[in-house]
Structure 1
Amino acid sequence: MEKKVLDKREEVINLLKKQKIREVKDLDAYKLSICHPHSAGIDLGSRELYLALSPEIAAEMGVEIVHRFQTHTSGLTSCRDLLLACGVNTVSMESTSVYWTTIYEILQDSGIEVCLVNPKKFRMVPGRKTDILDCQWLQTLHLYGLLRGSFHPTSEIASLRSYMRERENLIQERSRFVQRMQKALTQMNLLLHNVIDDITGKTGLLIITSILKGERDPKKLAAHRDPHCKKSEEEIAESLTGYYKEDQLYLLQSNYDSYLFFEKQLNAIDNQITKTLQKFPIKKEQKEVRPDNGKKGKSGRGKNSIRTTKNLEDILFHITGADLSALPGLRANAILQIISEVGIDMSKFPTANHFASYLGFVPHNKITGGNIISSRTDRIKSSAAQAFKKVIPSISQTDTALGSFYRRLMPRLGKGQAIVATCRKLAILFYNTLAFGGQYVEYGEAQYKQKQEEWEKKKLAKLAKKYNLALSPNIE
């Protein structure tokens, strides 16, 4: 018990040593200084917008400090014209729902820098909570450079992000109607899900369409069995001996039509995503061929993959200038989901650790009284983080270095923490590949285990030296 306390104390001391402590002679450098003299603050809602100018600018121009505008397009353009007339070059505002998007683009197109603030970082407002006070407080904080703007991608990435998020919504909506189809079949005692893994596969859809056309013979329905099905025709026929009901047949037809509608919508949005990618500026010439990463022979297409005749991995290679598909577990769908959220330009993140922290893969240590009271990761809702987490189960089954790393941590830390730790390593690899354009080289599980053994030997030698002991090899 005492050893654990001492080890914890040493960890806390090492963390505190990394903290920057102010010295008396440097106190002048920590005084608040004006960073953005020509700044303004905006608090907006669904119906009206409040704009707060700097008191110095308002006095010089002979106008009021706080102005109110309607959120119609004419009101937003009037707000922009006032800012330009007053010489304001930077504005801070909250990212309230989706109301900020239009005024953000209007100000950006006018050459005004917009500092988009997360409302969670702006909750502690002194005094009563009103729109007039909020916009003035935003302007004051921005004047002294105390606000940090949220990450916002370029217009091309923003368009891609809209398509990818809508595509995810379509997939979720489609799955609801698949469940309703299965419920209708079950209520007619057609236990198709017991013999087929996916009722929307080739065999399942053929059987459902035959039922809707009026076929009731189990043997004829089972004849639609694909040769790749594990169950035999006799087993499928036994599960398709049902008790048909008129109301459930109607619901099955209705939900099947809805399923086909969402399939059509997915095909349309996939076509739009492909067209959008082809408009991106490229970093690699079209004639340059993507290096062989050992995945070309493996199938990367699934039921939810983007439907296109183009090779998305080749398109992404020319756009990003790096072969991200060479990373373990990452294929075109996952890469697109990550890029649509974080963009291609990694210069917004100073280091790979900053990128991993942005995704919520880095522990947030809270130290008080010389003890670490919490080291949990931040709860961040990010589609990019979810994309990394989705590929970890497939990585855990491979003989890659990352797969071996996950299997080493999982028994000791548990599945949840092992997934986050593996995601952090994968995010760092993603950042380095995209930022520096190098080709990822997989060393495999054997070399990873060899390095781990060497590290353990060094650790044992260090402990033996600390306690004046000698290591002797096992003669057996």
Structure 2
Amino acid sequence: MEDVIAKFKQSKLELIHPNAAGIDIGSASHFVAVPPDRDNKPVREFKSFTADLNGLADWLEACEIDTVAMESTGVYWIPLYELLESRGLTVYLVNARHVRNVSGRKSDVLDCQWLQQLMSFGLLSGAFRPKDEICALRAISRQRDMLIRYQARHVQHMQKALAQMNIQLANVISDIVGETGQKIVRAIITGERDGHILANLKSNRIRAGKDEIEKSLVGNWREEHLFALKQAMSLYDAYSERLTECDRQLETMLAALQVHKVEICQKKRRSNVKNAPKFDLRAHLIGMCGVDLTRIDGIEVTTAMKVLSEVGADMSRFKSAKQFASWLGLCPGTKISGGKVLSGASKRTANRAAQALRMAAVSLKSSQSALGAYYRRLCGRLDKAKAITATAHKLARLIYTMLTKGTEYVDKGQEYYEERYRQRVLHHLTVRARKLGFNLTPVPEAT
């Protein structure tokens, strides 16, 4: 501690970026501050129109600005960020939470001046933003996720219309928009009311018998509910068409990002993941990053797609796996005061990659793998939320190692993990017994 205090006393606040500017982002206008010696009016307001943004960039170049700090307000920062970056300026995207807790700054003018001062002394760090091609891939991937969410709402509308007619189809088959469910619902929409005929449309994979399905299809066929069912199915089909367009766009963009030669199957592969793209996504991802992330237990192809679309395959921005896990918000917190740990909870974040890894961790509940055994052991001694976060942290470190070193993941199985865990526990018990003056004696196995 004394060494840290001595270094702190020796350090001086130096001017790191003398040509820095600060920008307070708004929806209608942006306030920009430059060093006072660069212009007679060092703080100016620019509208958010494209012509005004070009004027803002011209003014910064006239003031010999090479570094810009701006707040990440909504999506309003994106056009200006891309424009300034295309002009050759170094742009730092700053989290507004990190700079707002200073008393006396309650106006846009003071905000941009404060950003400019902090950036000048190197007290701000920019947020991670991947390359342009990854940003484009991320936008299409998020658009696809949004369409899936909207489509799911219309599935709920179909279930509601059927329930109001007392058609209990959802209680005998697991998915009303599966192969059997769609055949039956579309037949109902076209006017079929005979339960025996509708039950004959079931697939051989459905466990429920024809008699049970026929019994569930007896209800009151009210016109208003049939109309709502028809509209919900039409909207479901409309979103299916938009999802097909997104899949084609994703396939084109991923094909442009291929850096490794991988044989891509042109035929549709059957996937156990619902709502997975209708092309060989796994082969495209291997060609993009050079390793197969789906070899990690719990990481499905859609999970790997979400992680790579948010971060990309280039991990050079993160110095270590710890820094990558910290950016994801999966590492323990360090809230300490007076030498006492107040909280070790991880920070709250809306990181989509972290959410995907948490979902992958939950799927390891029944996995007969080393990661599955690890997750179940954590659930035994921690609450479930902490166990999920810790397992997601481990998945993030594995992904970082695979992408940086180019090595494949090999699962050694649940038995290997349990034996190693047993050896660790036995070693610690032996050391503790020796400190207390005892020796551990193994119990002979029963014949």
TM-score calculated relative to the size of structure 1: 0.89
Give how far 1:324 is off: 1.5
Give how far 1:281 is off: 4.9
Indicate yes or no: 2:279 matched with 1:345: no
The partner residue of 1:285 within 245, 254, 261 is: 261
Indicate yes or no: 2:360 matched with 1:383: no
Structure 2's unaligned 5+ residue stretches are none
Q: Distance in 2 between matches of 1:153 and 1:67?
A: 30
The runs of 4+ residues in structure 1 deviating greater than 4 Å are none
Give how far 1:285 is off: 3.2
The partner residue of 1:75 within 45, 52, 60 is: 52
Answer yes or no: is the 8 Å Cα contact 2:28–2:48 preserved in 1. Answer: yes
Pair 1:145–1:443, CA change in 2 (3 A): same
The 5 A counterparts of 1:317-356 are 317-356=286-325
The 5 A counterparts of 1:157-172 are 157-172=134-149
1:89 aligned partner: 66
Indicate yes or no: 2:277 matched with 1:300: no
The partner residue of 1:402 within 371, 380, 387 is: 371
Q: Distance in 2 between matches of 1:302 and 1:286?
A: 22
Task: Map Cα deviations across residues 117-166 of structure 1 (whole Å, 9 max, x no partner).
Answer: 01111211331411111110000000000011111111111111111111
Answer yes or no: is the 8 Å Cα contact 1:300–1:331 preserved in 2. Answer: no
2:4 aligned partner: 22
The 5 A counterparts of 1:419-458 are 419-458=388-427
1:36 aligned partner: 17
Identity in percent: 39
Q: Distance in 1 between matches of 2:52 and 2:439?
A: 80
1:199 aligned partner: 176
The 5 A counterparts of 1:112-191 are 112-191=89-168
Q: Distance in 2 between matches of 1:450 and 1:151?
A: 40
Structure 1's unaligned 5+ residue stretches are 1-18, 291-297
Q: Secondary structure at the match of 1:347?
A: coil
Task: Map Cα deviations across residues 229-258 of structure 1 (whole Å, 9 max, x no partner).
Answer: 111111100110111101111111111101
Task: Map Cα deviations across residues 19-41 of structure 1 (whole Å, 9 max, x no partner).
Answer: 784243x3564211111011101
Q: Distance in 1 between matches of 2:214 and 2:353?
A: 44
Number of positions where the alignment pairs a residue of Structure 1 with one of Structure 2: 442
Pair 1:259–1:20, CA change in 2 (3 A): farther
Answer yes or no: is the 8 Å Cα contact 1:40–1:54 preserved in 2. Answer: yes
Q: Distance in 1 between matches of 2:2 and 2:157?
A: 58
Give how far 1:393 is off: 3.1
The partner residue of 2:34 within 36, 40, 53 is: 53
Q: Could you tell me which amino acid in structure 2 is paired with residue 362 of structure 1?
A: C
Give how far 1:369 is off: 3.0
1:11 aligned partner: none
Q: Distance in 1 between matches of 2:176 and 2:164?
A: 15
Indicate yes or no: 2:435 matched with 1:459: no
Q: Distance in 2 between matches of 1:202 and 1:105?
A: 45
Indicate yes or no: 2:283 matched with 1:314: yes
Pair 1:221–1:285, CA change in 2 (3 A): closer
Q: Secondary structure at the match of 1:22?
A: helix
